[in-house]
Amino acid sequence: MKNVLRILISGLLIAYPLMVWWFAQNGLTNWLLLALITLLSLSIVAQGIGHPRSWLSMAVLLVVSVTAIFADQLTGVLFYPVWMNAALLLVFVASLWRKPAVITRLATLMEGPLSEKAIAYTEKVTIIWAVFFLLNGALSLATAVHGDIELWTLYNGLISYVLIGLLFVIEWSVRRVVKNKH
């Protein structure tokens, strides 16, 4: 049951930009902050308080709430992708100082112990993802500040996901070539 709840919440958070667009189109923007707070809170409960994703969700929940207090509810919810990218950027950059890097950890889980060359490669990939989160966050910020809900939804609900998928596919393809060479 807990896994079903996690999958459902993850799906809703992925669909979040579409939910924002629908709420805005139907004049329900006052409910957006409550919906986001509810989703993030359920995510924390479903993951368990000690899970790293829960800490990420709690940090983003806090920043979104503070943004909504100092700006307005709509601005608070439009900044959610900005804060998520910022949080992921911090996690990836911090992992380069407090090793192993995020991608190194993932590769170790998938491949087992890594060679020094593989670790160097995964650290470079971690840097690439960090740069991606920086740029993606900046574009998310630009769409939020611009204030056009259709543009915000297009970028945060489609284009950013396509870019994430594209980066993943490119990195996976390069990894296969690099792995075959060594």
The answer to whether the CB of 86 falls within 8 A of the CB of 135 is no
Mean of the per-residue pLDDT values of the chain: 88
Amino acid at 144: A
Question: How much is the pLDDT for 1?
Answer: 65
By CB atoms closer than 10 A (0-12, 13-18, 19+), residue 181 is: exposed
- pTM of the entire structure? 0.83
pLDDT digits (tens, 9 = 90+) for 3-61: 787 788 888 888 888 888 898 888 887 788 888 888 888 888 887 777 777 787 888 87
Q: 102 — phi, psi (to 5°)?
A: -55, -50
Whole-number Å distance between alpha carbons of 96 and 124: 9
Q: Is the pLDDT of residue 93 over 70?
A: yes
Question: Residue 92's pLDDT band (boundaries 50, 70, 90)?
Answer: very high
Question: How much is the pLDDT for 34?
Answer: 83
By CB atoms closer than 10 A (0-12, 13-18, 19+), residue 176 is: exposed
Q: Is the pLDDT of residue 175 over 90?
A: no
Question: How much is the pLDDT for 182?
Answer: 64
Question: How much is the pLDDT for 170?
Answer: 94
